[in-house]
Structure 1
Amino acid sequence: MGCAGNSEAAWAKQQAFLRTNLTGLSRITLRVPTVSMTRQYYISSCVRCGVESGADGDRFIVLHPRTTISHPNLKTESAVYKETLVSVPSVQPTPVGAVWYPTTPTQPPQKLIIHFHPSAYVLFGPRPGDGCGWGPTKFSELSGWPILSIQYRLALDAEKTFPAAVQDGITAYIYAFETLQIPPSQIVLSGESAGGNLILAMLRYITTENQAIPLPRCALLWSPWVDMTQKALLEMEQHRNFKSDYIEYDFGSWGASSYTPPGWPDSNPYLSPLGSEYRLSVPLFIEVGTSKVLYDDIVLFAHNMKEKGTEVELREAPNGVHATFRIADTLGIPEVAIDGHARGARFIARTGGE
């Protein structure tokens, strides 16, 4: 069962993306076979977004949205999805797939990292065959925390624009502390690129619109997408790191335009948090590669959040490009990502007083 409304159209877009980005890929000598990448894009966007376990067996589970949650301080029930999360009538909460890393826990977990893969909101998935499994596997092994990677909806039709992915993130988070009965203080949110953007939207929603939902222990943002405005995307090709990274305008524009609901400004803080920073009580670990084309945006965002009073640890990955967390092994520089994983693990321990 496909996740795209029109898989042929999505497939055409993916091929067009590859054709226009081949020079960019060769520019940094990515050792990723073109055919393999094309297959990953097709599978993740058009085929693997159903909620059937397939080859993943019991590692794949389905999370069902709850309509209400008990308020922690009041003897009342509060709606889980409200205000901004129900502001687009065509987008409604649905069951969400998820995959355990590195394996299915043999006992109910007492702590959990909820991970959101990179995607530009249009590509990839959380399953081992989707090309995003190396990072979560290594990070789980190094940190000692089980990871549940979420198959949030990709914005490939009008029913999957914002806030679909954020609804899915909230569904996963509530599953962790309501169904698995894991205390929020033992839940960590982790996200790469668009996954980091998704987490920032979740935290904004919980903090400003639905305080009945408790906040997590901390959040880890790996190459987070903090500005999806056309202005920011158009400036990429003039950036000093443009020749050392593989992200280009067409890719970013496709993702941003697909994810932004009709009539919404792309500067909305839920889409582009850069410039709309605020004091957040959740500690943030933010990683950015020094060769990343969006380096300046992420560093500025980290600085602004810190200025507002948020606890922020910024880690600059030497020679790291976009989504080093996932792609470092493919690039032949796994040690860059593993060092980041180690720093992230120490951050988790520190924020819990360990």
Structure 2
Amino acid sequence: MGDSRLEPLVLTADERRTLENWVRRRSTAQGLALRARIVLACADGGPNIAVAARLKVNRGTVNRWRARFLADRLDGLCDEPRPGVPRRITDAQVEDVVVKTLEQVPDGATHWSTRDMAAAVGLSQSSIVRIWHAFGLKPHATEDFKISTDPQLIDKIRDVVGLYLAPPTNAAVFCVDEKPQIQALTRSAPVLPMIPGTPERRSHDYHRHGTVDLFAALNTATGKVIGKVTARHATADFVAFLTEIDCQVDADLAVHLICDNLSTHTAPAVKTWLLTHPRVALHFTPTYSSWLNLVERWFAELQRRRLDRGCFCSTDELTCALEEWIMLWNTNAKPFRWTRNAEQIIDAIGHYCTRISNSAH
């Protein structure tokens, strides 16, 4: 048998493609990526000593992986099973943990903890952690869901998402909603500022100085916001906000407003106002689907960056802070980008409904 170091190394198209993928992917183990580079370099021609110098590895390393590849092809580059400590946890014990986690609860509790499960099955707490991690089980975690019962769910999703992804020409599209009952709060003790090693600290209790409501209309194309702070969010206030939007939008543009199903948005006074302003059209999200309204994403930014840690001694101070936030936002506004089309959303809702309908609960 000839010397493998001198035997020509020829790759098939599939082998070369696989090796190149191993080199390119960040998820590939470092050792496997190096072996793939060695084989590719050998296939390009040249003696092993030249390949070793080019890749800055030992010549023996090139000899070994070249020979392994010639003997077993791609399988020869993968690590062989290594000896280790025999398993002390059997498959039956693992199955018992998974079944108990999914189908039972401990006495007097609503879900398992690692300590409760370890005591119930006779394993260590760390073993329970590893088993749960391997099977993606998180008994401590919970999520809420609400499926819309709107009979026009599909039509409304297509309507709203269509405005995001393919807005009509010569038109402005706004996402409109109100953030009610914004509280003007001050803490019962002064806020302790952040110092190295210690975050900012605030007292848990607070003093309330009244509330205001914020109407907001987010322009989906520019990201700019038209805002109006009021003492309440009655129908008359919403009509006044519609008039504000109508005044600020160019007269030669049609106006499409995406709203939720609040009764204020469908009141007779609003319908009368729409009859006198034919260029304005309202589009409604499905019930229980406020996530479909992009202005909710802007409200989240407002809450996180201005309200959560703000202290306001009066509603006037809170109103000034909200108006200043809107002005600063519009100075460097960027639109939120909607990425999923209507069919993807409808399919996802269908898959989720099928999943919860076929569950064992």
TM bucket normalised to smaller: under 0.3
TM-score (norm 2): 0.23
Larger radius of gyration: 2
TM-score, normalised by the number of residues in structure 1:
0.23
Structure number having the greater helix percentage: 2
